[in-house]
């Protein structure tokens, strides 16, 4: 009999988007043609220069440990790209390269939180945020947001829940699952509330209709920013991200990285350098495709009877009200997958505020989106 898990481990609930994807994989092994609208994974190939750099590094360089913070060339390239994208001068010493943004969150929350400390965030929220907080003994404190004002994280509501155990305010802009972009004035107000501002900027660059994202880096040097290569550069499988931290936190974060992860694969870091140098065309292609697919998906869902109260301004998701078809989003998503072979994410994955909703990703081709809509029409009548 295996020993029982720790309370922290037991507090981490399944990531339903991954559960749906894994069930879809099982159906595909049985011969089903599943249309994947559940996972946040661009279907485009990674930048050719990144693939070539990775292969070249494997063939020509010894695959060894690197500096625990990442190759200095990559950290310099990240700082230079931020100067171009956001107009901020960033010291590469503030950059810590990680194997995707999830380890970056674990490092950050391990740095910030003692057991019982709180992180304030808006909801609906990315599914893993509360689990990442709970995994280190922290407590997520949720503030509701509404489609009526574009899922704005209102500073006055955040102020009401701040307490002596608050250690951070977490924002995501553009956000998953809503595609919301937070206004600069709100970010400035949140930054001024006192606790450190933690900004997830993984979808920056994938914005539409002239929208502009304000990076937390524009607000001061006392912020924490998480970013990576998965979404903009279609490099999910490379597992490459980074954390930008205040200089005062760099030494402790470095020690944590040394002990918990040692370093990121050297050949993957070479791919990141190449993506930053030569990957702009990939970003433009992805953004152009999603600019066409999002309206197609939204229009089709609305015709079927789903509620889409606000168009996403960034990322590549449509968060749709499915309550006319059922109040249990997990059951509904399972039914859609098993009977129509369309994989979608239950809204409850994004918190209780998302129950009764479904998240649809527009990362499938236009033809597959149209086929998915036709299958949904046959299933839902």
Query: What digits encode the pLDDT tens for the residues 131-150?
Result: 999 999 999 999 999 999 99
Q: Give the pLDDT mean for 177-189.
A: 98
Q: Which pLDDT does position 318 carry in this prediction?
A: 98
Mean pLDDT, the chain, rounded, equals 96
Nearest residue to 176 (alpha-carbon basis) of 326, 349, 336:
349
Query: What digits encode the pLDDT tens for the residues 267-300?
Result: 999 999 999 999 999 999 999 999 999 999 999 9
**Does the pLDDT value for residue 381 go beyond 90?**
no
**Does the pLDDT value for residue 346 go beyond 80?**
yes
Cα(129)–Cα(169) distance, integer angstroms: 12
Query: Do residues 378 and 340 make contact, with C-beta atoms less than 8 angstroms apart?
Result: yes
Task: Provide, rounded to the nearest whole percent, the portion of the chain with pLDDT above 90.
Answer: 95
Q: Give the pLDDT mean for 321-341.
A: 97
Beta strands in 44-109 (DSSP E): 95-98
Same fold, 7-45+281-380 and 48-279: no
**Does the pLDDT value for residue 1 go beyond 80?**
no
Neighbouring-strand partners of residue 207: 314
Q: Which pLDDT does position 3 carry in this prediction?
A: 79
Topology (CATH level 3) of domain 48-279: 3.40.640
Domain 7-45+281-380 has CATH 3.30.390.50: no
Residue spans per domain, the chain? 7-45+281-380, 48-279
pLDDT band at residue 188 using 50, 70 and 90 as cut-offs: very high
Query: What digits encode the pLDDT tens for the residues 156-177?
Result: 999 999 999 999 999 999 999 9
């Amino acid at each position: 009999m295996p020993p029982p898990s720790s309370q922290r481990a037991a507090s981490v609930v399944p990531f339903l988007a991954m559960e749906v994807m894994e069930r879809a994989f099982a159906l595909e092994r049985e011969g089903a043609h599943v249309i994947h609208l559940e996972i946040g994974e661009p279907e485009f190939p990674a930048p050719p220069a990144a693939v070539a750099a990775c292969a070249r590094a494997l063939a020509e360089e010894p695959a060894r440990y690197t500096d625990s913070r990442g190759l200095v060339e990559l950290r310099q390239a990240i700082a230079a790209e931020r100067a171009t994208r956001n107009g901020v001068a960033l010291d590469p010493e503030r950059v810590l390269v990680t194997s995707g943004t999830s380890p970056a969150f674990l490092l950050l929350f391990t740095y910030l939180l003692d057991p019982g400390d709180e992180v304030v965030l808006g909801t609906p929220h990315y599914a893993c945020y509360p689990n990442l907080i709970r995994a280190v003994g922290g407590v997520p404190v949720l503030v509701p947001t509404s489609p009526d004002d574009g899922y704005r994280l209102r500073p006055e509501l955040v102020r009401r829940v701040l307490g002596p155990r608050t250690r951070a305010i977490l924002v995501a802009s553009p956000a998953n699952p809503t595609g919301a972009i937070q206004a600069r004035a709100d970010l400035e107000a949140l930054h001024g509330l006192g606790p450190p501002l933690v900004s997830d900027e993984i979808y920056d660059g994938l914005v539409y209709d002239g929208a502009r994202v304000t990076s937390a880096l524009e607000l001061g040097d006392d912020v924490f920013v998480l970013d990576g290569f998965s979404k903009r550069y279609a490099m999910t499988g490379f597992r490459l991200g980074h954390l930008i931290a205040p200089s005062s936190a760099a030494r402790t974060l470095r020690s944590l990285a040394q002990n918990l992860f040692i370093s990121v694969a050297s050949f993957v870091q070479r791919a990141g350098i190449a993506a930053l140098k030569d990957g702009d065309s990939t970003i433009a292609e992805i953004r152009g495709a999603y600019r066409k697919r999002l309206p197609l998906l939204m229009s089709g869902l609305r015709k079927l009877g789903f509620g889409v109260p606000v168009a996403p301004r960034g990322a590549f998701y449509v968060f749709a009200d499915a309550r006319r078809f059922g109040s249990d989003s997990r059951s509904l998503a399972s039914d859609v997958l098993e009977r129509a072979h369309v994989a979608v994410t239950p809204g409850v994955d994004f918190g209780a505020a998302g129950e009764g909703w479904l998240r649809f990703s527009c990362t499938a081709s236009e033809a597959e989106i149209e086929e998915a809509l036709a299958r949904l029409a046959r299933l839902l009548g």
